[in-house]
Chains A and B, each alone.
Chain A
Amino acid sequence: MKRVYVDEKWCLGCHLCEYYCAFANSGKSSMIKALKDRTIHPRIRIEGDNQVSFAVSCRHCTDPLCVKSCIAGALSKKDGVVCIDQNKCVGCHTCVLVCPYGALMPSESGVMQKCELCIENAGGKPACVQGCPNKAIIFEERD
């Protein structure tokens, strides 16, 4: 199935993916309303220094440790996508304890959030991929 892949060779470290992600998941109709003067809580995060940078988001692992470890049964895998039911999550951080990528983090409300490939919004293509100006984030099938 299609997943998000990143190539640090092309990443400019511009953080636009973070903004597009925060906007796509805000439920707001305009980017200004969603982001202006607000601390954003994106589900994709840029890591790096002046020389190297890259975006990190959920890898949707074939054998996801977070799903196996969730104490609330809030994480599950649906059609290959690791999803979180924020209504069930109590914010215990066990998923943070086990995710080898550091790809889950608390949302504004304190329960956890993660990349769900924009299946609930943006339609078809993850917003970070659409917003990346240098094609450093790609959505495709790979082995």
Chain B
Amino acid sequence: MAKYVIIGNSTAAIGCVEGIRSKDKDGEIVLIASENHHTYARPLISYLLQGKTDEERMKYRPDSFYEENHVTAKLGETVTKLDSEKKTVTLKSGEEISYEKLLVATGSTPFVPPMEGLDTVPEKFTFMSLDDAHALESVLTKDSRVLIIGAGLIGLKCAEGIKERVKSITVVDLADRVLPSILDETGSAIVKDFLEKQGIEFHLGDTAAKFAGTTATLKSGLTVDFDVLVIAVGVRPNTSLVKDAGGEVRRGIAADDTGKTTLPDVYAAGDCAESFDISAGVNRVLALLPNAYMQGNTAGINMAGGKASFDRAIPMNAIGFMGLHIITAGTYDGETYVRRDGENYKILFYKDDVLKGYILIGDVARAGIYTALIRNRTPLSSIDFKLICEKPQLMAFTARTRRDLLSKQQ
């Protein structure tokens, strides 16, 4: 029997290993993952295609990680069943492994909606894993015309990653604006204009109604000829192991702020799980790398008998396209402070004396000061609101708070 079993090998799983090892140096850890790769930084696959990193540098932890942390890594093996009464997981190979504490960090899977004629498309890809990136890369040439379905984070990051390597990129999305999950209408328009100037073509508020080989017919009647299709309409949390074992699953696996699911001694973290978004006051899947780490790390500490709580989760994103940086956090609810100067855009949302959310495009310097206001629910009446609207700065705090921040150990 392994003391700890972890299903997954990405951010939440690594956070869990480090959480366990902060409390328990020796307890056996078995980590099982379908992907046969050393742990890698998943969001870096677009940077890999862009040439900004390589497989060696995008390793999320050093080569020595598993050995140093006494982790038995079973890579390239898939868990097919969880039995929470017997406290075992079963691998595809038939092997059964029992656990004392289990973390489910199974991530998510790209969602490919049924689309007429999709099976006639010779080159079609999703964009989520290292293998996806390699597969896409293998067919790209400087003459490739690429059609991307989806103007969200994954679709646009993919566009940026391959832009300089292909002839053209066309992006289609059912939504009438880009990045609707993290931007407001003004922000979307700024980013879309910017990307159009970089040569990306958009058909928004439209959708691929039908494929015939390398021609897509959109709902509007427009046809787009392409060589390579990338489908990036969204992801679905991988929840079936927990669901089939009788655990509660909503949009994602239900987990409390210690990481516990409704199954005994089973924890969940990362893109497969929900967390409580304090800025909106609801449970939701926050499929973001920092949250995956923190949730996994919290689960690991608790699995090893420590006490930790992941109780300050909020949506937050830092993303950039071809030099234009975007940082967003929280929930877009309440009164607003808006400032716009060309591509530089700022909107702050505040309500009930706290900052609820913000969007920064262009000038994103020191955005974390805003993020901290949201996470800490700092009363806005306790700081200089005018100064904080102007820019993120510690000057907006009282001298006493500044002394605590800068003259004490943090």
- Complex-state Cα separation, A18 to B403, whole angstroms: 20
In contact, B297 and A68 (Cβ under 8 angstroms): yes
Number of interface residues of A (CB under 8 A): 39
Query: Nearest B residue to A87 by beta-carbon distance?
Result: B57
Q: Which residues of B contact A96 (CB under 8 A)?
A: 318, 327, 364-368
In contact, B371 and A72 (Cβ under 8 angstroms): no
Interface centre among A61, A62, A92, A95, by most chain B C-beta atoms within 10 angstroms, is A92
Interface residue from A7, A62, A97 paired with B368 (Cβ < 8 Å)? A97
- Is the C-beta of A88 less than 8 angstroms from some C-beta in chain B? yes
In contact, B409 and A62 (Cβ under 8 angstroms): yes
Interface residue from B52, B59, B297, B409 paired with A73 (Cβ < 8 Å)? B59
Query: Nearest B residue to A141 by beta-carbon distance?
Result: B409
Interface residue from B319, B325, B393 paired with A47 (Cβ < 8 Å)? B393
Interface centre among A54, A102, A105, by most chain B C-beta atoms within 10 angstroms, is A102
In contact, A93 and B325 (Cβ under 8 angstroms): yes
- Complex-state Cα separation, A105 to B392, whole angstroms: 13
- Is the C-beta of A16 less than 8 angstroms from some C-beta in chain B? no
In contact, A102 and B53 (Cβ under 8 angstroms): no
- Taking the nearest CB of chain A, how far is it from the CB of B271, in angstroms? 13
- Complex-state Cα separation, A18 to B372, whole angstroms: 25
**1/0 contact trace for B277-299 toward A, CB 8 Å?**
00000000000011001100100
- Taking the nearest CB of chain B, how far is it from the CB of A71, in angstroms? 5
Please provide the chain A residues from 97 to 121 with a CB less than 8 Å away from any CB of chain B in the complex.
97-102, 105
- Is the C-beta of A5 less than 8 angstroms from some C-beta in chain B? yes
Q: How large is the interface on B (under 10, 10 to 19, 20 to 34, 35 or more residues)?
A: 35 or more
- Taking the nearest CB of chain A, how far is it from the CB of B134, in angstroms? 18
Interface residue from A5, A60, A90, A102 paired with B365 (Cβ < 8 Å)? A102
Query: Nearest A residue to B57 by beta-carbon distance?
Result: A88
- Of B39-47, B135-143, B190-198, the one contacting chain A is B39-47
- Complex-state Cα separation, A102 to B393, whole angstroms: 8
- Complex-state Cα separation, A28 to B402, whole angstroms: 34
- Taking the nearest CB of chain B, how far is it from the CB of A126, in angstroms? 15
- Complex-state Cα separation, A60 to B409, whole angstroms: 8
- Is the C-beta of A143 less than 8 angstroms from some C-beta in chain B? yes
Pick 13 A–B contacts, CB within 8 A, sort by A: A49-B395, A52-B399, A62-B410, A73-B41, A73-B61, A88-B58, A96-B327, A97-B317, A97-B329, A97-B364, A97-B367, A101-B368, A102-B393
Q: B-contacting residues of A (Cβ < 8 Å)? A: 3, 5-8, 47-49, 52, 54, 56, 59-62, 65, 68-69, 71-73, 87-88, 90-102, 105, 142-143
